Chains A and B, each alone.
Chain A
């Protein structure tokens, strides 16, 4: 049962990683933390769930819609909570995102109800790979997460906006002096981060067959943990952090009991951070 548990952990971990990357992009470029990221993920999940269960759209259309909705929501949050307070320091935007997180969550309760909303199943079959039965859906999710990691890397390393993001991450003022429109970079970075969160939301909804208004809470926390674990500003670090948390959780279920999954996962994180405060792949210099 070890290999299936590793696959369970890898699938779950890759979704944590998508959320964690969002925190990395936002922290890397803007040097700020958002607490509304979990709710953006929830919103994406709901849009995806509605697309599939009410409008009967194929899952990839639902995924694109969830990502688009999260993009728009992220764009708006940046405009409302961050843009006007650029010079106000760290605390006011942080508090605003806490407020936004509560507003979005309660709004979802009022609009959609507090209960689980079912999400239709896709890819219910399994395949045998080297003698191990593997769920097709898990392979699809792993493939999608991997694709998104690659696309993100190409965007950041190979495009003009990616270069602008990296420049802004190193020094806002210098980048601005070199003609980079910093406001636009912040907007796009925030929206891009939210979009990845939305993708994770839609995939989690499909994977566990349920979306619910409070789903952003633990997911946001795990994503944030994975981001710090990985080194706060390192995308490969966030991916590694997310996957380690996912795998440790599932191995804990296998060898201890399901109640201990978060205990052990966070214990491992605490130990690593005590020994290596900059995180797994963190550097002193803040870059994306």
Chain B
């Protein structure tokens, strides 16, 4: 009891300072979070924790949910399927917990999926993007979007917004890169673009001069590069060195990282990409989140903080509407059509995942900026 009293008292104390005194007469509402708080993915889990704690603070400062404070029960899964499954057992058998948020990786989320499914508890993952995840159980929800949405979005960006019709693709040779390439190529071909060539590289590759020379020979107007910032920086620098400047470079949201700018320097100027979360987005909900996060943690929130913030707010909003019954929460969540998240509007498809609104970005003078032509 003592350990639970401390945060309660602290919350009360801050509330006394900040706003009109709120005395919690009612029991708190418990939501579980299964996240990698330690281990290899700890940085992502900690980003979640920061965003979620801040959101909960704000919700409770505004009077909680119908007079009841929101309380988070954290579980450290290390994003390991063994731990996420064990946590699922623990959470589902705890009658106070009404719903769960997590886990981080597709593997960890999918390992826990049957347990939440049997128990009948919502499992809403902020980051799981595997196309088979959300359709796997009526209790599973994904809010980060899948490659099936991003590929066609990028194809429209290239063909309709930038007017490029001759396209070549250079992708990383793994599950993600192949899926990424396929969704893009299919959409681009349907939109009437000409895909001149597709090349791949292995994760350990550092020498791109050969493959770039080959692609250059095909004379594309645009190269689409599903890759990560490390390789993209090398590809850009080596492309520049080969003197291949009459081409537009584009890649999916995986490139959206300050590291790309740091490693790529001038060579990544003019690179087109996308993001589900962009801190300089002028929308008021985004600015409220970014300002609050920066004031509290002295750091700009990233995409992972953004999706976690959306997950907890969406959950709180749903509970506000229908109360704390596990089944009622699921039935209401399914109907979500227009939730204004900081990572874009959330509207669930019949598969219970979302088609994201991506932001069109371009690197300009060494900064990511919104492309608004």
Contacts and interface: CB of A to CB of B under 8 A. Distances in A.
Interface of A: 1, 4-5, 8-9, 11-12, 115-116, 118, 120-121, 123-126, 133, 135, 137, 208-210, 215, 218, 249-250, 253-254, 257-259, 261
B287 interface: no
Nearest to A122: B241
B206 interface: yes
Contacts of A209: 233-234, 237-238
B234 A210 contact: yes
B241 A137 contact: yes
A215 B200 contact: no
19 contacts: A116-B230, A118-B262, A121-B265, A135-B241, A135-B242, A137-B241, A208-B206, A209-B233, A209-B234, A209-B237, A209-B238, A210-B230, A210-B233, A254-B213, A254-B214, A258-B200, A258-B205, A259-B201, A259-B202
Given A5-B210, A126-B241, A259-B200, 5 more contacts: A4-B216, A135-B242, A137-B241, A209-B234, A257-B200
B94 interface: no
A257 B199 contact: yes
B243 A208 contact: no
Which one of B207, B211, B237, B263 has the highest number of Cβ atoms from chain A below 10 Å of its Cβ? B207
Contacts of A9: 210
A121 B214 contact: no
B266 to A, nearest CB: 8
A125 B240 CA distance: 8
Nearest to A255: B214
Contacts of B233: 116, 118, 209-210
In order of increasing CB-CB distance, the 3 nearest A-B pairs are A126-B243, A253-B210, A1-B217
Interface in B111-126: none
B240 to A, nearest CB: 6
Contacts of B213: 1, 4-5, 8, 250, 253-254
A116 B217 contact: no
Nearest to B240: A124
Given A4-B213, A5-B214, A254-B214, A124 B241 contact: yes
A120 B230 CA distance: 15
A254 B237 CA distance: 20
B231 to A, nearest CB: 9
B263 A116 contact: yes
Given A5-B210, A126-B242, A208-B238, A118 B263 contact: yes
B173 interface: yes
Contacts of B240: 121, 124
Nearest to A254: B214
Most chain A CB neighbours (cut-off 10 Å) among B204, B206, B216, B230: B206
A253 B243 contact: no
Nearest to B264: A118
A258 B211 contact: yes
Nearest to B204: A218
A215 B210 contact: no
Contacts of B205: 258
B209 interface: yes
A11 B200 CA distance: 22
Nearest to A137: B241
Nearest to B198: A257
- Chain A CB count within 10 A is highest, among B200, B213, B240, for B213
Interface in B226-265: 230, 233-234, 237-238, 240-243, 262-263, 265
Nearest to B173: A259
B234 A1 contact: no
A137 B240 CA distance: 11
Interface in B179-210: 199-202, 204-207, 209-210
Contact of A250 (B210, B217, B263): B210
Contacts of B207: 12, 208
Given A210-B206, A249-B210, A258 B199 contact: yes
Contact of B237 (A115, A121, A125, A215): A121
A5 B234 CA distance: 18
A9 B201 CA distance: 17
B214 to A, nearest CB: 5
A82 B265 CA distance: 44
A135 B216 CA distance: 14
Contacts of A1: 213-214, 216-217
B200 A208 contact: no
B230 A254 contact: no
Contacts of A250: 209-210, 213
A210 B206 CA distance: 8
Contact of A258 (B201, B204, B241, B265): B201
Contact of B209 (A8, A121, A125, A259): A8
**Max chain A Cβ within 10 angstroms of own Cβ: one of B201, B233, B241, B265:** B241
Nearest to A249: B210
A115 B241 contact: no
A218 to B, nearest CB: 7
A134 B138 CA distance: 59
A253 B238 contact: no
A261 B333 CA distance: 51
A21 B200 CA distance: 32
Centre residue among B210, B211, B243 by max chain A CB count within 10 A: B210
